[in-house]
Structure 1
Amino acid sequence: MTTIARAAARAAGVLLVFSVTLTATLAYTYYLAQPNIKSNEQDVRRKLVAQTLPEASFNNDLLSNQLSLSPDTLLGTDKPSLAWQARLNNVPVAVVLEATAPDGYSGKIELLIGINTDGKLTGVRVVSHKETPGLGDYIETAKSKWIYNFNGKSNSQPDDNGWKVKKDGGQFDYMAGATITPRAVIKAVHHALQYVNKHHATLFANQPGVKA
């Protein structure tokens, strides 16, 4: 083997050892960080879920009262989703659902929707979306109060005709030049109310955790 070949082989060996060592170090660091990452994710989710419910309206750990829901067109889901049952002194008082508005302007809009035992909305929050900046801002609580318009609404208040933007003859405001986003969210929330009405007994059962 020539001197050049030996030098190249030596350099390749050093690079291989370095790569293996770096990969192992990163993997070990990720492994050590996993518990903190999962804990932080749980805290973020817990806070976001709780935002859909009135303060002090429940006193259980929502994430410990979790239900697994089968895919359903009323929720806009094509795979299993989750719901959380809110309890006050161990009595079911509300449920928070994962739902999807599949027909946003730029794709799916992921939602959390809180509904109490009377079928009234306690809150709606957008978890994620890809709507155009500016046009989709008003579905975010940090940029607009629009999403609070759902509070107190129900499957019958307003009636089916009211569950539209005002441009379409409904009761909900919208931003001029941007009706696709609110239409998608309004329809998704209305469908979620219909889902709860259909599965009320299961969602508010004293033994959460079963599939609806």
Structure 2
Amino acid sequence: MREVTKLGLMLLLITSVAAIVLAFSNNVTSDIIAEVEAKANDEARKEVLPQADSFKQISEETMKSILSNNERVMDIYAGYSNDTLVGYTIKTKNIEPGYAGDIEMIVGISQDGKVTGVKVVSHGETPGLGANAETPEYRGQYEGKSVDNELIVVKSEPANENEIQAITGATITSRAVTSGVNNAIEIFNTELAK
């Protein structure tokens, strides 16, 4: 009995020390991780809306209104060039499921209703297949697409303006990314294009 108590106390001591070390390292690194993520998002905004030289987050009131109808939207920034509004960047998650869970992306849309870029910022897709959604070749298909029509994924060469060719072997991922882009387009059309 005494040996069991001694073993239990040793286990408690070891796990307590491990918990304290883990809490300390989390506390130290959480600010750094948040800073790196914010910087990556800033760079992604510049990439998907290149004509903007500055960005400003939309008002809290407008964001609350959007979130009440669409919980997949994460943040929205207005992009400006010399203080003139040139478009928006919308960070959103996919609507249709990805192969390995949520896919976060930032979508740029110009004031004239064209997709200016898409940047996948977080995913768990399979390397060499779904992870190819990050490639410039795939993302480039979205550039210049009009917000007038819903985008659809096709397996063959796109024949219509609103078609996106699926990544070979990763149709589920292609549909997930396209659903996120369509979500951003819907937000732009219903809430921002005024």
1:199 corresponds to 2:191? yes
Determine if contact 2:46/2:52 at 8 Å carries over to the other structure. Answer: no
Q: Which residue of 2 aligns with 1:40?
A: 36
Letter in 2 for 1:99: T
1:122 corresponds to 2:133? no
Determine if contact 2:73/2:93 at 8 Å carries over to the other structure. Answer: no
Q: 1:33 to 1:81 in 2, by over 3 A?
A: closer
Q: 1:25 to 1:101 in 2, by over 3 A?
A: closer
Letter in 2 for 1:42: A
**How many Å apart are 1:190 and its aligned residue?**
3.7
Give percent identity, aligned residues only.
27
Pairing 1:4-19 to 2, within 5 Å after superposition: 5=2, 9=5, 12-19=8-15
Q: Quote the Cα distance in structure 2 between the aligned partners of 1:16 and 1:200.
A: 55
**How many Å apart are 1:94 and its aligned residue?**
1.6
Determine if contact 2:75/2:91 at 8 Å carries over to the other structure. Answer: yes
Q: Quote the Cα distance in structure 2 between the aligned partners of 1:44 and 1:121.
A: 20
Determine if contact 2:118/2:139 at 8 Å carries over to the other structure. Answer: yes
Task: Say which of 170, 174, 182 aligns to 2:174.
Answer: 182
| Structure 1 gaps, min length 5 | 203-212
1:97 corresponds to 2:97? no
**How many Å apart are 1:96 and its aligned residue?**
0.8
Helix, strand or coil: the match of 1:118?
A: coil
Letter in 2 for 1:90: D
Cα deviations across residues 96-154 of structure 1 (Å, max 9, x unaligned)?
A: 1123333245254332110011111110122334444444243212xx51211211221
1:85 corresponds to 2:81? no
Determine if contact 1:165/1:182 at 8 Å carries over to the other structure. Answer: no
- How many residues align? The count is 185
Q: Which residue of 1 aligns with 2:146?
A: 154
Helix, strand or coil: the match of 1:26?
A: helix
Q: Quote the Cα distance in structure 2 between the aligned partners of 1:8 and 1:172.
A: 64
Could you say which structure has the larger radius of gyration? 1
Letter in 2 for 1:128: S
1:145 corresponds to 2:137? yes
Task: Say which of 58, 61, 67 aligns to 2:52.
Answer: 58
Determine if contact 1:94/1:117 at 8 Å carries over to the other structure. Answer: yes
The two structures, once aligned, show a CA RMSD in angstroms of 3.3
Q: Quote the Cα distance in structure 2 between the aligned partners of 1:94 and 1:29.
A: 40
| Structure 2 gaps, min length 5 | none
Task: Say which of 165, 172, 180 aligns to 2:154.
Answer: 165
Determine if contact 2:106/2:120 at 8 Å carries over to the other structure. Answer: yes
Task: Say which of 102, 105, 115 aligns to 1:111.
Answer: 105
